[in-house]
Structure 1
């Protein structure tokens, strides 16, 4: 089986096997009200930001409702699958933000369940109104990857051991074609990575290996018209890498000196991977001249 097919099967399996068990027994009206109050700032910020972008950037209301079959990771798609990993990442970040808000005053199971509920609702809101956009349309592929990102956040929030072991991160450096900072749509400048942290393995926590990570990543370049002068052909790369755990290496040891700034930097390091903080080698690549 090709690596890209393996990746797609893995994501689909995560979606259907690890989706948050949001059953009627797990969710109550009282719990929903409490979660809204406990994470009101996070939910309001995300909802407001989505609405602004939908009207301003995503062309909501420009079409009657329609479906859009966008494909997966094919070379004939609009981004080689980077938009799908972007949906997974955005949904994951939203669930993480709401989960962090809920974790301040609630148990992990409550925070995981209701952050998944709110993130799922917000992302369904996005997809429903994308259906009324001439530029997008309702995509079931997006819904699947949204669910996968939320499921991953759910598992991390509910299981601290998994949170200490696994991160999902974005590495972004603006590409020449997009001419500016576009961390949502500049696919040629992006890499998405799963980072397995040695510090999350009990046997390695007190060894020098705790400063290292194993990265599994994917990137695609040359799929947009703006890329043409800089990328003569479409290409994708599935890679593995070894990187530094910046939280263990810098932010935890210097926490007393860095204060609040260090705390924020520590949090960001679990979601953003700076270019140059890891070395990679290609597992599989494709080109389409």
Structure 2
């Protein structure tokens, strides 16, 4: 199984890339924060890449760089994971550069480039591994996630549509725990049957009234009845892999900020998740209502 997008980004939220012009600014905040941030980010990136190479790729033979077409696997839920990871990696980098005193234009640009470099680095590792292979579908999803953040900031100077994630446990890992996870933490990363990816739209950003600032509408996507990556293989084994589409309300917690930096940071991370809420699901031609999903 290829490395999941969550595995690819879990230790890589901050990266090195800040331009010479950014470093040359002489604000007091930057003097205190930017240089340590660059050093820490460079060290974290280097250590992460060395550790990733040792822990994940060292057991497999190396070969010439090659691609592997996995675009038909898991009903493309894994591609939504790449999109989601790249978006939030860019968002996190932008916030950290802001904290370090980098101006808005530069922080958006360099966080986008940093996100692209981080995600592309992993695809390069995959490309030289005999077990995997670089995926152009993953690369496209990574780039799209970064551009989705960059584009909104350039167009609206804010985020109005945010990718979110939710997970529910399923029985499928019991059938293939080595692939779909043997415990909850592994299942959150590997069981695509339980993952749902959402696009949460803040209606008040588009229509000022009558929608409250915290109320969003969210469209979700997932899959079910898959214990193999390939759809045809699941069908051959008697499963019925299907796509799942959702429409739900959502909550934009970022509209409420406290005086506590710890609380605000917690709000930031919780806001990456689609909290349980009423939802309408369409699976094939079947409609189902969930009081909380």
Alignment deviations for residues 43-78 of structure 1 (CA, whole Å, 9 cap, x no partner): 654554454344323557533134334243xxxx33
Q: Number of paired residues?
A: 243
Structure 2 Cα separation of the partners of residues 47 and 160 of structure 1? 35
Residue 116 of structure 1 deviates from its aligned partner by 1.2
Displacement of 1:211 after TM fit?
3.0
Q: Structure 1 residues 89-98 or 172-181, which shifts more?
A: 172-181
SS of the residue 1:184 aligns to: helix
1:11-50 → structure 2 map (5 Å cutoff): 30-31=20-21, 37=35, 39-40=37-38, 41-42=40-41, 44-45=43-44, 48-49=47-48
Partner-residue secondary structure (3-state), 2:213: helix
1:271 and 2:272 matched? yes
| Distance in structure 2 (CA, Å) of the matches to 1:220 and 1:260 | 37
Q: Are 2:218 and 1:215 aligned? A: yes
Change (3 A) 1:59 1:241: farther
In angstroms, what is the RMSD of aligned CA positions? 3.3
What residue ranges of structure 2 are gaps of 5+ in the alignment?
1-16, 25-29, 174-180, 287-293
Measure how far apart 1:212 and its partner are.
Answer: 1.6
Deviations 1:193-220 (A, max 9, x none): 110012434613xx55323211111101
- Structure 1 residue aligned with 2:106, among 110, 117, 140? 110
* Structure number with larger C-alpha Rg: 2
Give yes or no for contact 1:86–1:184 (8 Å, CA) kept in 2: no
> Alignment partner for residue 201 of structure 2, among 192, 196, 199?
196
Q: Specify which of 212, 236, 242 is matched with residue 249 of structure 2.
A: 242
SS where residue 75 of structure 2 aligns?
Answer: coil
Match for residue 131 of structure 1 among 127, 132, 154: 127
TM-score, scaled relative to structure 1 = 0.70
Aligned to 2:263: 262
CA distance in 2, matches of 1:225, 1:90: 23
Asked if structure 1 preserves the Cα contact closer than 8 Å seen for 2:198 and 2:219, the reply is yes
- Aligned-pair CA distance for 1:285: 6.7
Is there any run of 5+ residues in structure 1 with no aligned partner, and where? 1-26
Which residue of 1 is the match for residue 282 of structure 2?
282
- Output the TM-score relative to the length of structure 2: 0.69
Stretch moving more, 88-97 or 186-195:
88-97
The equivalent of 1:85 in structure 2 is 80
- Contact 1:161 1:200 survives alignment (8 Å): no
Structure 1 Cα separation of the partners of residues 285 and 64 of structure 2: 37
1:149 is aligned, of 142, 145, 164, to 145
| Change beyond 3 A, Cα 1:66–1:37 | same
